Amino acid sequence: CNQEQDHVFMVRVRNPGGALPTIQARGLARVGRAYGPDWLHLTTRQNVELHWVEASRIPALLDAVSEVGLTTRSGCGHTMRNVMCSEDAGLSLDEPFDCLADARAVSDAILSRSAELNCQLPSRINIAFGGSPRCRADALLNDAGFVSVVCDGEAGYELWGGGSLGKAPFLAVKLADFIPRAEVIAAAEALVEVFVAHGDLEKPTKGRMKYVVERLGEAAFRAAWDQAFAAARSRPHPEPGPVEVLPEADRVAMLAHVPPGGWSAGVRPQRTPGLCTLTVDIPLGDTNSSEFELLCDLADRHADGALNLSRDQNVVLRNVPVADVTAVRDALWVRGLFLHGEAHTASIRACTGSAVCALGITTAPEAGKALLTSAGLGRNSSLRVHVSGCPNSCAQHQAGDIGLAGSKVRIGGKTRDGYHVFLGADLGARRVGEVVGRVATEDVPAAVEAVVGTWESMRHDGEGLGSTVARIGHDAFARHLEAVMAERWASGPEPGSELAPAPPSSADVGALAPGSVTAVTIGGTKLAVANVDGTYCAVADECPHAGASLARGTLEGTSLRCPRHGATFDVRTGEVLAGPSDEPVRCYPVEVDAGVVRLLTPAG
């Protein structure tokens, strides 16, 4: 993919399911060291990105990636992007079975058709697998979300379709309560076929699958998928390998083996007594080759020989003996790395931002770094902050407890780089975050402290930030923030931005009596609307000569007199009938129905 800079590129390496064997991870470390500035960026879709790769070195880099059994194929553009899978699949208490094999099977099946499909896709497709409550929530954000379930002892999936964030967030709709594992590839293929058949190739900004759902309606979208699924099931597909439906975990036995330091967010029990899962914090997803190689050493020595990349841009080590936790912790500490939560830094997710991304507006990692040591976030370690460098939501800012989206903002009369602040997200309640205000980049830490402090003072016992905002209301919460931040805060979205609400397309004039005139604003245009014996006419409200409001003038027949200098205009044509200048006032055709006036195509 292009970077912001000329002659250098970002290379995104696919990692289906998120599980990266150490032999491949070591290969990526060598590639990162040899072909770039020794920077590996872990993404929110479990990929690995290499940046600042010179154009002349791309062919050799692609060969090197291929030699370790990985690919960049369909990593960017209108393609099926990396297929995600829960990093806890098959091990945690709330995952009913291991869905990694099915995630990889879907990835392989659709990727094998990429030469045919990619030129037909209106936009990208995101697919995710998982069975935990968090995975169930994340399914709402993907074009295809497969949620692991068990029905009458058989492993399978719920299917959700059409979800996406970005500039116009849309939560997925349920397509099926249960799909057997043997039909998962067919179900995914059917969604792709519906997308190809009904997606909009002409309007890139309306290309995502969510717009198909919006255009067809949920019922018709579901019917189209049902029909495509019936056809896809009739075709041959590979039989899935066996998976074990996991029994109810013996929690007493699991918790009997206590790791040094106890259980925590970074040290979690597994179903098998005596084993645990460790999450290593990779702040903002940024690491280097030597750190990656250290993690490989630890995975080979103490875990199952794989680095599991998480959607939070961290590295997860699975099947670690409880007795080995101290050895892993000590080895990380020597290199300045920590298990999740043990460095007392905030949980921050960030994209690469404008420093390298051609779409970026702000340097999201810099804002993220400024928040790592936030006192308020330190007091509330469960809060997640998502920082995107633009409205496209690569860091999923509408899904974080606090979301920040890079934008040009006007604060205190000056336009500068800054962020829209999103609050109120709770995917379990089918809510995404909404804009409550905006701040300049340098005031992001203060704004986050204000958000956390306001929440702490107003929350009920056990109430999360999203629930507090929903209970109080976004506008009321924003007013509290404005009181704290004063001139450093502006409530609501930036006027004129993509996040700002569209101006109303109509206005209520009520029972406007004949011979009367009133001012309305439609589509951002201020009009003087006159009732001339039952016929409604409209002109620009501002007098072109004196700037006064014509709606405050006098209407006599079809003549409207300016209240400031007496110029008179014909409200039917805008023609000057009398006055110091012959400049007419602009006329607008309107229609009025039941007291509601609508602006038609503007005249001349």
Instruction: Give the tens place of pLDDT for each residue, 510-562.
Output: 888 899 999 888 876 789 999 999 899 999 998 887 678 899 999 999 999 99
Q: At 427, which helix (H) or strand (E)?
A: none
Q: At 596, which helix (H) or strand (E)?
A: strand 596-599
What is the spatial distance between Cα 415 and Cα 452, in angstroms, rounded to a whole number?
26
Evaluate whether residue 244 is within a structural domain.
no
505 has a pLDDT exceeding 80: no
Q: Answer yes or no: do 457 and 561 share one domain.
A: no
Q: Answer yes or no: do 417 and 517 share one domain.
A: no
With a CB cutoff of 8 Å and minimum separation 6, the contacts of 23 are 68, 69
Evaluate whether residue 153 is within a structural domain.
yes
Evaluate whether residue 528 is within a structural domain.
yes
Q: Tokens 């701040």 map to which residue?
A: 439
- pLDDT, residue 413, reads 83
CA 350 to chain centre: 11
Instruction: Please compute the mean of the pLDDT values over residues 330-352 and round it to a whole number.
Output: 93
Structural domain of 591? 506-599
What residue type is assigned to position 123 of the chain? Answer: S
601 has a pLDDT exceeding 70: no
Give tens-digit pLDDT for 63-93.
999 999 999 999 888 999 999 999 999 898 8
Instruction: Please compute the mean of the pLDDT values over residues 279-286 and round it to a whole number.
Output: 96
Q: Tokens 């399978």 map to which residue?
A: 156
Q: Answer yes or no: do 478 and 588 share one domain.
A: no
What is the spatial distance between Cα 393 and Cα 435, in angstroms, rounded to a whole number?
13
Evaluate whether residue 426 is within a structural domain.
yes
- pLDDT, residue 589, reads 86
434, 461, 491 — which closes off a domain? Answer: 491
Evaluate whether residue 537 is within a structural domain.
yes
With a CB cutoff of 8 Å and minimum separation 6, the contacts of 259 are 267, 276, 322, 325
- The per-residue pLDDT of the chain, averaged, comes to 92
What backbone phi and psi angles, to 5 degrees, belong to 28?
-65, -35
SS3 category, 386 = strand
- For the beta sheet containing 535-540, the strands, ordered from the edge strand earlier in sequence to the opposite edge, are 517-522, 525-532, 535-540, 587-588
499 has a pLDDT exceeding 90: no
Evaluate whether residue 8 is within a structural domain.
no
- pLDDT, residue 603, reads 38
Q: Of 157-166, 425-434, 546-555, where does the model show the most confidence? A: 157-166
Asked if residue 548 lies in contact with residue 560, where contact means CB atoms within 8 angstroms, the answer is no
Measuring CA to CA, how many Å separate 217 from each of 125, 173, 221, 561? 19, 10, 6, 50
Q: Answer yes or no: do 544 and 465 share one domain.
A: no
233, 256, 274 — which closes off a domain? Answer: 233
* CA nearest to 307, candidates 46, 37, 36, 45: 46
Q: Answer yes or no: do 540 and 477 share one domain.
A: no
Measuring CA to CA, how many Å separate 569 from each of 131, 529, 551? 69, 13, 12
Give tens-digit pLDDT for 293-332.
999 999 999 999 999 999 999 999 999 999 999 999 999 9
177, 200, 233 — which closes off a domain? Answer: 233
Q: Answer yes or no: do 465 and 567 share one domain.
A: no
Q: What is the CATH number of the domain that holds 195?
A: 3.30.413.10
Q: Answer yes or no: do 406 and 457 share one domain.
A: yes
pTM: 0.82
Q: Answer yes or no: do 384 and 469 share one domain.
A: yes
What is the spatial distance between Cα 139 and Cα 129, in angstroms, rounded to a whole number?
8
Q: DSSP string covering 113-133, please? A: THHHHTTT-SS-B-EEEE-SH
Evaluate whether residue 111 is within a structural domain.
yes
Instruction: Give me the residues paired with residue 490 across strands.
Output: 438
Length of the chain in terms of residues written: 604
**pLDDT class for 16, splitting at 50, 70, 90?**
very high
Give tens-digit pLDDT for 169-226.
999 999 999 999 999 999 999 999 999 999 999 888 899 999 999 999 999 999 999 9
Q: Answer yes or no: do 457 and 528 share one domain.
A: no
Evaluate whether residue 53 is within a structural domain.
no
Q: Answer yes or no: do 408 and 469 share one domain.
A: yes
Q: What is the CATH number of the domain that holds 588?
A: 2.102.10.10
Instruction: Give me the residues paired with residue 150 across strands.
Output: 155
What backbone phi and psi angles, to 5 degrees, belong to 301?
-85, -35
Q: Answer yes or no: do 468 and 368 share one domain.
A: yes
Asked if residue 180 lies in contact with residue 194, where contact means CB atoms within 8 angstroms, the answer is no
Q: Tokens 């029994």 map to which residue?
A: 247
Ranking 5-9, 270-274, 432-436 by mean pLDDT, the lowest is 5-9
**pLDDT class for 503, splitting at 50, 70, 90?**
low
Give tens-digit pLDDT for 24-33.
999 999 999 9
Structure tokens at 256: 């009997």
Q: Answer yes or no: do 356 and 480 share one domain.
A: yes
Q: How many domains does the chain have?
A: 3
